[in-house]
């Protein structure tokens, strides 16, 4: 019998489930986890093409260059997941690594070939990005919309497919009712989802834009935005203002966070203030935790 990924003790201590029975409170397993029994192939990078169903559209050039530097030094540690398509391969998961590998000048890349139809590919790409928290709110909403529209699913069915509640999916889809300009503010982080949900309480695009303008100008938090929208619903409009970006995070902290995110291949949050703080590294199943532990040199035996 194969040894569980985290050994016989650690998986149980951390709530793992090597027996195969799903824990009702556990996060869904990453759909693209690599089975050690799967065959890893090396193919020419030009044989691999991007996925037309990829929900993620925005790839930071700086982030890709940093990943490319890491690939030049260490290579691609985790194989890309693909499906056969004619004489080529189409990505299911790993587009960032594929893009960075091109920047790094790699001629060949490691892949694992899986059988998957269009629906499965979209589901896998969407779930991978959601679990890695790589999608901005609008990309997430568009992913749900594509899944529902392309395969004639109900919201409940789409929610089950991606391991989310129907409420989460419904709230995400509501964001697509915002004006394109406001959707862009969500894409680049100038507005949060909390802000957007409150703004959607205003019925006209004009009022929504005016509210967003005031939020950005005055750097309002969600509670203050609720008060603003409540006043506007009573007919009290805020004075027009010029769009301006709210204060951004310390550039050094953001840079460190990005570097760690690339190093660990998962969501990393660094909180720092006057020499104190915390570091949050996300993982999504036992294999993912084992991978992170290996990176930092911690043995699980």
What are the CA-CA distances from residue 238 to residues 62, 211, 222 (Å)?
Answer: 38, 8, 16
Nearest to 199 by CA among 165, 244, 220, 141: 220
Q: What backbone phi and psi angles, to 5 degrees, belong to 161?
A: -60, -40
Q: Give catalytic status of residue 123 as yes or no.
A: no
* Annotated catalytic residue, options 95, 128, 213, 290: 95
Q: Which residues lie closer than 8 Å to 87 by C-beta, 6 or more apart?
A: 47
At residue 30, what are phi and psi to the nearest 5 degrees? -60, 125
**What is each CA distance from 269 to 196, 241, 260, in whole angstroms?**
23, 33, 9
DSSP calls for 198-236: HHTTS-SHHHHHHHHHHHHHHT--HHHHHHHHHHHHTT-
Count other C-beta atoms under 10 Å from residue 149's C-beta: 10
End-to-end, the C-alpha distance of the chain in Å comes to 17
Three-state SS at 80: strand
Q: In what order do the strands lie in the sheet with 48-49?
A: 41-44, 108-113, 80-85, 88-93, 48-49
Distance CA 194, CA 203 (A): 17
Are 240 and 213 a contacting pair, CB within 8 Å?
A: yes
Active site residues: 95
């Amino acid at each position: 019998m194969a040894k569980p990924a985290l050994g016989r003790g650690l998986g149980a201590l951390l709530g793992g489930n090597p027996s195969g029975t799903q824990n009702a409170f556990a996060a869904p397993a990453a759909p693209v986890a690599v089975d050690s029994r799967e065959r890893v192939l090396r193919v020419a990078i030009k044989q691999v093409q991007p996925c037309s169903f990829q929900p993620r559209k925005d790839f930071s050039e700086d982030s890709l260059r940093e990943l490319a530097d890491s690939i030049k030094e260490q290579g691609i540690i985790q194989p890309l997941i693909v499906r056969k398509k004619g004489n080529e391969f189409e990505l299911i998961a790993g587009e960032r690594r594929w893009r960075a590998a091109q920047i790094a000048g790699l001629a060949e890349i490691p892949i694992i070939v899986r059988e998957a139809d269009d629906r499965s590919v979209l589901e896998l790409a969407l779930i991978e990005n959601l679990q890695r928290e790589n999608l901005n709110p609008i990309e997430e909403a568009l992913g749900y919309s594509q899944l529902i529209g392309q395969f004639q699913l109900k919201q409940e069915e789409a929610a089950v497919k991606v391991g989310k509640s129907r409420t989460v999916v419904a709230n995400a889809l509501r964001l697509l009712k915002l004006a394109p300009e406001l959707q862009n503010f969500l894409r680049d982080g100038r507005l949060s989802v909390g802000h957007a949900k409150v703004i959607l309480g205003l019925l006209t695009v004009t009022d929504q834009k005016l509210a967003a303008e005031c939020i950005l100008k005055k750097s309002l938090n969600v509670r203050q935005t609720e008060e603003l929208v409540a006043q506007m619903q009573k007919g009290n409009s805020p004075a027009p203002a010029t769009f301006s970006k709210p204060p951004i995070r310390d550039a050094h902290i953001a840079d460190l966070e990005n570097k760690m995110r690339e190093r660990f291949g998962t969501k990393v949050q660094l909180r720092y203030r006057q020499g104190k703080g915390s570091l949050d590294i996300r993982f999504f199943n036992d294999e993912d935790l084992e991978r992170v532990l290996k990176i930092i040199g911690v043995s699980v035996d």
